[in-house]
Structure 1
């Protein structure tokens, strides 16, 4: 008998022993087959918040929130820690930096050692503030009762002027693959993709750019190292010599895992965050176009080997229509397609729904939405988003300026919407809404009684499938500054198989 055969026998024996041990030590006393997986609250959640702004005038609010849940008992905690700053690029830079910052080292170390935000209770938002260009990226974790459905939003205000805007972003979970339609390498745009690494080992990242003619040539978009517990911003226009208005950026982690989001600054239109699109799908929903949108641009990309032909529908207050002159969109494989829809909502809030005209081909998509005119405009981005599922949350809402959009593309849906206790006081309120098939219901949420500070909105599906988005408006000096965040499922539950004893494995 050769060595390979002996190794296989040993491996098989070890597997049986391990399996038998697991069966003997499983909960319960019956020797019945394992039951179907049950849904249980997650025990730990991780979120990554990129550096909010490079402007000294920036003012940022972080809002942390975990909704109440009957099956998430016990204690817990959530916190946001400051990520390490990007390392100097050379020894000379390091020496200069050391000399310049020597007097402030201890102060900086003490500040970095303290969490930027801590929370220990569910059902009530906790806020923290940051100002200026030195605000770092944050790495967050929640455990115990605060983990299921934990959400964090960062909201940054930049005053009117060049680079103005209300920049809102739901801090994202670490992953390995991200698609960003509606990015740009044009001269009037400064698009930075922020790469954040939550782990103790370095991550290696590749960034691919695709324009209307296909992949853009780039020799520096590969092997980007993101050090442990740090965040690195990459200006997309430095990755290629081609200035292109409509670009799809594909970010992948070759090793490790990262958080990724694109910060957009348009010289004419304003600034906001471009979140990643939902995973490629044959049908996509882009919810929450404001009723007073001055212009809407749709950008789509087909990452597979086949072209996609999509029907464009606008789900409004009374039903779905096909925008005149924009009935369909042809998306060539590996090429970015864009179409300007103008003021497609015509004074009525709506959501865009893309469905295949023939065979289903996976696509990613995003909208660029502008409000206002001339020098008094602002911009926001709405990516294709997954459905609310069991529950989704928007953490940062104010007494005025919050609007919730609910879309039911496939059939009638019913949802429960809870406005939480206020961060500084106030009692939560709950309302139930029915969304008719093919429509978008715009809701001005009922504000918690006695509200002080901010509050969170939690949407729970009671029946049907619904997609949601929240718009926050904070007009300043005549500029209709706004930001839109979609509300996909919060992934607060996980499937856990039910294991039981099975002594028969020891007899085989």
Structure 2
């Protein structure tokens, strides 16, 4: 083969490669506006979720519920599509003498296999060694796939109801409202979904700034494993109001904080939405006996915030708490007491000076119901708006309350309830949420449904809307409850229009 032939082959290969690139990126004749108009949203093809180990209590029982909303044109599932979870390995000190992960399940035994969209599946366990779970969903089962973990603890530390929506892996998490105090035992559960080890940094900030660590702040999480870390072992400083920053310097992880209080039960602390200049904390129960707000400014500037309570008819300023000053790198907390005064509400934080520069913050709210020895606690984080849809997988015949808040303009949403193997016909209701108000409703229930059912919230029109769901399952005189925020499920992604353009060869 001579040089001319080789040159022709090389030129052809280069032409093919550049043509392929042009096909993906589009040509110069398409301006930005045209490209944006041509872009379309398509369902995601794969989702990953991580569930922390639920409880080590011998008097606990955990319910898992998985659900993928049924979407128009989304197919019926089946075929090679699957959605399931498998137990993660535990840290070495949690492995039994026989070498099995906590809970004793087979390493690859699937949990909650989902067969089709639109029908939730449920399983229960009363094992004190139930493991963390690593799950994936693909094909038509991936868009909006949601898993809820709900644990009832009858007695002892953390007694009450603990619930969390299993989270997608990431590299950065903020938790507002954690504690290293003597009356709390807060664990951060780190789960690695990948085969390679992840290196994770844990940094805590109290009212006076960064808490001084007693050792290296870096934690190694082996591949396909979970590691729980007691926050009070990371520092000698005791602080009631802590903001925790979890960052993965290599790999990716799922992070969840379990707060256990000796007197007021406990719950999972969900991660706050990404730092933002305007914050919504949706769904304070009408019978809340106390609410404690924790805010942290991670940037270089202080934040001056206006505090508003969005009630059923309007927004008001909580008495004595018109504003909040948050110093950079320090956690600020205020006790709002029984701020809702018998009506459901949501907290809205915004810059006090609407015309000046604004500082992004993260925030969380600790909510208490009941009094004396019958108190129970839950946590609500700053929650991102629902762009299209969000789902609460585990709802019961009684005890579910859906809270919707529209911080700015009026919004319209559709709420759809779907049942699983217990039967029942899906039910839908459309709600209008006026700007600056909170609407708290008992979500629709599928007719004839038995057992758990899923609720999906779809934003139809209007301004931003934020949501949460409270599940209340009283145990005697204890008002056991848990609250899950409902951020957008990111079930679709924007895919730009791509055309072939050979003019790039002339550049």
Taking structure 1 as the reference length, the TM-score comes to 0.91
* 1:84 matched to 2:89: yes
Counterpart for residue 470 of structure 2:
471
Give unpaired runs (5+ residues) of structure 2: 1-10
Counterpart for residue 273 of structure 1:
268
Shift of 1:112: 2.5
CA contact (8 A) 2:178 2:244 kept: yes
Please give the residue correspondences for 1:52-451 in structure 2 after superposition, counting only pairs within 5 Å. 52-73=54-75, 75=77, 76-88=81-93, 100-101=97-98, 108=104, 111-358=106-353, 359-451=357-449
Counterpart for residue 500 of structure 2:
501
CA contact (8 A) 1:391 1:490 kept: yes
CA contact (8 A) 1:216 1:242 kept: yes
CA distance in 1: counterparts of 2:13 and 2:174, whole angstroms: 42
CA contact (8 A) 1:160 1:477 kept: no
User: What secondary structure sits across from 1:489 in the alignment?
Assistant: coil
User: What secondary structure sits across from 2:505 in the alignment?
Assistant: helix
User: What secondary structure sits across from 2:233 in the alignment?
Assistant: helix
Q: Aligned pairs, how many?
A: 485
CA contact (8 A) 2:160 2:475 kept: no
CA distance in 2: counterparts of 1:390 and 1:492, whole angstroms: 9
| Closer, same or farther: CA 323–87 of 1 in aligned 2, 3 Å | same
CA distance in 2: counterparts of 1:302 and 1:348, whole angstroms: 30
CA distance in 1: counterparts of 2:28 and 2:320, whole angstroms: 65
Shift of 1:424: 1.5
Shift of 1:166: 0.5
User: What secondary structure sits across from 2:375 in the alignment?
Assistant: strand
Give unpaired runs (5+ residues) of structure 1: 1-11
User: What secondary structure sits across from 1:145 in the alignment?
Assistant: helix
Deviation readout 1:389-427 (Å, 9 max, x if unpaired) = 100100000000000011011011100000112441111
CA contact (8 A) 2:459 2:465 kept: yes
| Closer, same or farther: CA 116–312 of 1 in aligned 2, 3 Å | same
CA contact (8 A) 1:160 1:476 kept: no
Shift of 1:437: 1.0
CA contact (8 A) 1:160 1:479 kept: no
CA contact (8 A) 2:76 2:116 kept: no
Counterpart for residue 20 of structure 1:
19
Counterpart for residue 4 of structure 2:
none
Counterpart for residue 453 of structure 1:
451
Taking structure 2 as the reference length, the TM-score comes to 0.92
Shift of 1:313: 0.3
Counterpart for residue 6 of structure 2:
none
CA distance in 2: counterparts of 1:360 and 1:13, whole angstroms: 54
CA RMSD of aligned residues (A): 2.3
Shift of 1:473: 0.2
CA distance in 1: counterparts of 2:345 and 2:125, whole angstroms: 34
| Closer, same or farther: CA 16–338 of 1 in aligned 2, 3 Å | farther
CA contact (8 A) 1:31 1:503 kept: no
Shift of 1:219: 4.0
CA distance in 1: counterparts of 2:28 and 2:301, whole angstroms: 50
User: What secondary structure sits across from 1:154 in the alignment?
Assistant: strand
User: What secondary structure sits across from 2:19 in the alignment?
Assistant: helix
CA contact (8 A) 1:64 1:119 kept: yes
CA distance in 1: counterparts of 2:50 and 2:482, whole angstroms: 19
| Closer, same or farther: CA 448–303 of 1 in aligned 2, 3 Å | same
CA distance in 2: counterparts of 1:396 and 1:473, whole angstroms: 11
CA distance in 2: counterparts of 1:160 and 1:376, whole angstroms: 12
